Structure 1
Amino acid sequence: MHYIKIKRIVLAFFFLITWSCTDREAIIDSLETEIDTRSIQFKYDKFSDAQKESEKMKRPLLMYFTSDGCGWCLKMERDVFSDTTLQNFINENFICSKVYLKRPAAVMKTKDYKKLNKSKLDFMDLYHLEAAFPTFVIFDTNSKLIKKESKYMDIQEFVQFAKDGL
């Protein structure tokens, strides 16, 4: 009798583990905290699309370059971009673009890294941008580079950077 109880517990535990491993990715993808939903509206990932919208809306373009494994980027996204006043200011005055560079640690600064990100790195070279993250660039409506910065900025610094770009 005791053996049957143990067997049931083990089977229940096995099914629970199997279920949680099978749906884990779907569950993780569906989890969204309030802080994840409040942010600057980075609507464009292609420069050409953002550039067209910038011209059409007559607003400067703010580009944000980020990469996986960038702790300072994550800190800015969580601590700075989540500020409601900052969001309103940026979203009302800029067209925003987020450029994500793939950066697996094993291939940093190798030919594979350059192949992975060729068009984005070519773009950065064209505007003399460092491959340091986070990097922020402001272009006017004619795609002329106005301001760039490659570092973590707190809310006040980021607001000042944006105001200087207007």
Structure 2
Amino acid sequence: MVSQFIKTGIFVFALFIVTESSAQNIDFKAYDNWEQVVADAKKANKHIFVDVYTDWCSWCKKLDKDVFTAEGVASYYNKTFINIKLNAEDGAMGEKFAEKNGVNGFPTLLYFSPQGKWVHRISGYRDPGDFVDAGWDAVNPERQLVSYETKFEKGEKSLEFLRTYIHAINEAGLDNSSAIQTYIAQLNDADYKDSTHWAVISYNFYDTDSEYFYSLLENKKSLEVSHGTASVNQFFEHAYSYKIYEIGKSEDAKALNSFISQVKSSIPDLAEKLTAYAQYIFYKDDEENGHKYAQKYLTMHCSNSNELNAAAWKYFENEEDEIKLNEALFWVLKSIRLDKNWYNTDTQANLLLKLGRLEEAKKAAINSIEIARRDGMDPEETELLLEKINDSLESR
């Protein structure tokens, strides 16, 4: 009798845990086609939430683990939306959906009306509070991105509105060029000194061929007085980086030389760094010149942690030369000094292993795993690397 009661009690307790656990998860439903999603949304009179992810996206996994299961998140989304997950790289529905909706970064989170019309969108990882806020915005006609878009198309051009609209576009990971051009066209030289306007310009305006950009160049000294040299230089470097990538894609050496001449005359204090960066991007895949320009830019000028790590990882994957691998190790150590994270410490461990420095590689791998766990990431790949390092240590 007692044992039966214990078994029953355990069963009830287990059932309670399962019920509570499932209540703390967003109920993502499986569908074979979009038409059925819309049919169910219409029937339930609910909006549609779509999480577009990939298997390799670590931030997608963090959303699954820490956000979709957070207190209050699941209850709101289950009550308000038909929820679905689509892998952008697996299955016809996910691939087609991602292409149709212009998804090129992950995670991308999209919201639709019960009739299947797009109304709102955000991109990238969000904490539980921001994620619930996005869900509120998605069902509020005054806060939906599509509403801002409609107002803009109908002629709403006030600076206050444009600031809100540009922010919403950025949150969605979409092109804001039309809105920012409309914003800056309403400003004069004196307005550039205003901190509110500068925040909008410096974060969003990168059209180096625009008349407004040349106006900003002419006002560079006064901008430095108002906003500081570091802020102003960062803006121009970032703006020119877009132009540099265009030239890199074009593979037009004349365009590269023209750009170098232009920055030498128009912005001499940044010309050396911009020239090094332009040459690095242009010759990135050039077997004869690529390494020379990588050395120059990454070693002497680059202060972007992610860029340094990406270059180091590329060398890890493609180089066998010990001198080049040691240079890559220098770049990743520079990346770590700027921003120590799971990604660059993992690169460090991989490079040290490839260089045969096993004890150092083990220490780096352990450190990388600890950082990943601290930041809520899944260190499975680094754990496999650590196993490989330990096997090498045991067999030597």
1:81 corresponds to: 68
Do the aligned residues in 1 keep the contact of 2:88 with 2:97 (CA within 8 Å)? no
Q: 1:73 to 1:148 in 2, by over 3 A?
A: same
2:48 pairs with one of 35, 42, 61: 61
Q: CA deviation at 1:163?
A: 0.4
Secondary structure at the residue paired with 2:111?
strand
Q: For 1:43, which of 26, 29, 51 is the aligned residue?
A: 29
Q: Which residue of 2 aligns with 1:158?
A: 131
SS at 1:124 equivalent: helix
User: How many residues are aligned here?
Assistant: 120
Tell me if the contact between 1:67 and 1:133 (Cα under 8 Å) persists in the aligned partners.
Answer: yes
Which structure would you say has the larger Rg? Answer: 2
Q: Residue 44 of structure 1: SS of its match in structure 2?
A: coil
Cα distance 1:119–1:91, how it changes in 2: closer, same or farther (>3 A)? closer
1:71 aligns with 2:58: yes
Question: Of residues 96, 99, 106 in structure 2, which corresponds to 1:133?
Answer: 106
Taking the aligned partners of 1:53 and 1:69, their CA distance within structure 2 comes to 30
Secondary structure of 2:120 counterpart: strand
TM-score (norm 1): 0.64
Question: Secondary structure at 2:110's aligned position in 1?
Answer: strand
Q: Which has the higher strand share?
A: 1
Distance 1:117 1:73 in 2: 18
Code of the residue aligned with 1:57 in structure 2: it is A
**CA distance in 1: counterparts of 2:91 and 2:124, whole angstroms:** 21
- Alpha-carbon separation, structure 2, partners of 1:89 and 1:96: 11
Report how far residue 120 of structure 1 moved.
2.8
Q: How far does residue 133 in structure 1 lie from its aligned partner after superposition?
A: 1.3
Cross-structure match for 1:144: 117
CA distance in 1, matches of 2:77, 2:92: 29
Paired amino acid for 1:100: N
Q: Is the 8 A contact 2:108 2:123 kept in 1?
A: yes
**Structure richer in helix, relative to its length:** 2
Distance in 1 separating the partners of 2:93 and 2:69: 29
Runs (5+) with no aligned partner, structure 2: 1-17, 140-396
CA drift of 1:69 comes to 1.4
The 1-side partners of 2:100 and 2:111 are apart by 15
Q: Following the alignment from structure 1 to structure 2, what is the Cα–Cα distance between the partners of residues 63 and 36? A: 22
1:68/1:101 contact within 8 Å kept: no
Query: Tell me, what secondary structure is at the counterpart of 2:87?
Result: strand
Structure 1: state its 5+ residue gaps.
1-33, 103-115
**Residue 119 of structure 1: CA displacement?**
4.4
CA distance in 2, matches of 1:119, 1:88: 27
What per-residue deviation string (whole Å, max 9, x for no partner) do you get for residues 80-107 of structure 1?
11113111010001110111234xxxxx
Q: CA RMSD in A?
A: 2.3
- The one of the two structures with greater contact order (alpha-carbon pairs below 8 A, sep at least 6) is 1
